[in-house]
Homo-oligomer: A and B are copies of this chain.
Amino acid sequence: MTVEFVCVGTEILLGNIVNTNAAYLAEQCAMLGLSCYHQSVVGDNEERMEEVIRQAVSRSDIVILSGGLGPTRDDLTKEVTAKVFGMELVEDPHSRSRIEAYFQKSGRQITENNWKQAMVPKGAIVVDNDNGTAPGLILCKDGKRAVLLPGPPNELIPMFEKDIRPYLNQLEPEGIYSKMVKICGSGESKVESLITDLLEKQTNPTIAPYAKTGEVHLRITAKAAGEEKAEALMKPVIEELYRRFGKQIFTTEEEVTLEETVVSLLKEQHLTVTTAESCSGGLTAGRLLNVPGASEVYREGYITYSNEAKEKLLGVSHDTLMTCGAVSEETACQMAEGAAKAAGADLAVSVTGVAGPDGGTEEKPVGLVYIGCYNRGSVFARAFHFSGNRAKNREQAVAKALTMLREALI
């Protein structure tokens, strides 16, 4: 079955708010095995809204609409959808008393326009809204369905989880299941060139590559009657990817991040880590410490932006800084080793480079970053040449630092 989303609201068209409802609904419906090929946003204009809804209903089995169910004259979603489905609006006594109770409870005065929200298309399923006045609605005619949800996420999400998801789940016999094969240490085009043959012959499961900073994600999606059958379809593809990318694959789970993998490996091996950052200025630590429970493996870290701080906190030699410079393999190694010793940690990663936009020279251009890795007695550093702006260079450096930490642990 196909689904599409029509999000209604001038505030989305003007960029006042980010359309997080679409992302939420898309993820939920993908998980339910519904195929989604379109999303649209339209404003509170009757003619354009009708055109968009008619098109959506004509090309998809289920249209989920969000927004435009409020009490004001601007709110037209229900009226226009009812028109498209050829249903008249009638008052729903249950909704009327629910709205009455809602206002009583919140101690606010009901204004006349609030009763508009008790009007529903005749024959529609009415879904109670536990967090607001506008009820949700399910319209069904000639095998086509429209699901109308309130716009505020704090009303939409609970309503979807409580009533809409179970409703949609019983519509489809076959589900979609997916795994995310996440690769670090290779760029997107390199990864793709290594799986051209797999991409060409893909049917079920399918493979879709996504480029992320310092990572490439391959989404493997199978359509099958039940999770077990889907797993069986995906297994040989994932095994083949492991044969090609080996240890560069750090997870096959959607929600697992690179920093979580690093923290888990450290926990398993009862090791601790620290960070010594110059140009990345705390962002590597920031990512590691976004993992709940990172306190088991990380106690302290250092931001050493000046040469003096590198000497004082990490014991980098004054001579090295003078002869090789702060952005050098030697300094990166001494930073990592010094940090590990100062923190009493088993591992340490260091970042020193020219993030830009200023400070580049012919010998050491903007984008040159050295990352050092100390690992229980041994230390080395690698040079990277990034080519983004300051923020991007720092972000890429952090991704490489985490990748190197992970490599030290596998």
Cβ of B281 and Cβ of A289 under 8 Å apart? Answer: yes
Cβ of B41 and Cβ of A38 under 8 Å apart? Answer: yes
Cβ of A24 and Cβ of B15 under 8 Å apart? Answer: yes
Q: Classify the interface of chain A: helix, strand, loop or mixed.
A: mixed
A20 CB to nearest chain B CB (Å): 6
A45 proximal to B (CB < 8 A): yes
A308 proximal to B (CB < 8 A): yes
Complex contacts, A285 vs chain B, CB 8 Å: 281-282, 303
Give the one of A72, A114, A357 with max B CB within 10 A. A72
Q: Within the assembled complex, what's the spacing in Å between the Cα atoms of A388 and B16? A: 20
Q: Which of A12-37 contact B (CB under 8 A)?
A: 12-20, 22-30, 36-37
Cβ of B25 and Cβ of A15 under 8 Å apart? Answer: yes
Partner of A41, one of B29, B39, B130, B154: B39
Known: A15-B26, A71-B192, A275-B282. A387 touches B303 (CB 8 A): no
A325 proximal to B (CB < 8 A): no
Partner of A300, one of B25, B45, B309, B386: B309
Give the one of A210, A284, A308 with max B CB within 10 A. A210
A331 proximal to B (CB < 8 A): no
Q: Within the assembled complex, what's the spacing in Å between the Cα atoms of A331 and B312? A: 25
A225 proximal to B (CB < 8 A): no
A90 proximal to B (CB < 8 A): no
Partner of A19, one of B18, B70, B288: B18
Per-position 1/0 for A87-126, Cβ under 8 A of B: 0000000000000001001111101111000000000000
A152 proximal to B (CB < 8 A): yes
Q: What number of A residues sit within 8 Å (CB to CB) of B?
A: 111
A360 CB to nearest chain B CB (Å): 11
A1 proximal to B (CB < 8 A): no
A3 CB to nearest chain B CB (Å): 10
Cβ of B281 and Cβ of A209 under 8 Å apart? Answer: no
Cβ of A301 and Cβ of B282 under 8 Å apart? Answer: yes
A313 proximal to B (CB < 8 A): yes
Chain B residue with Cβ nearest A157: B389
Interface 9-residue window, one of A182-190, A226-234, A239-247: A182-190
Q: Within the assembled complex, what's the spacing in Å between the Cα atoms of A309 and B272? A: 14
A-B contact pairs, 5 of them (CB 8 A): A14-B208, A44-B208, A72-B189, A111-B190, A275-B303
Q: Other CB < 8 Å A-B pairs besides A105-B387, A290-B394, 13 of them?
A: A13-B39, A14-B208, A15-B22, A15-B24, A15-B26, A15-B30, A44-B208, A72-B199, A73-B192, A108-B187, A111-B193, A283-B286, A301-B302
Which residues of chain A have a CB within 8 Å of any CB of chain B? 10-20, 22-30, 36-45, 48, 52, 70-74, 102, 105-109, 111-114, 130-131, 152, 154, 158, 187-190, 192-193, 199, 208-211, 219, 275, 277, 279-286, 288-290, 292-295, 298-306, 308-309, 312-313, 343, 356-358, 365, 367, 384-392, 394-395
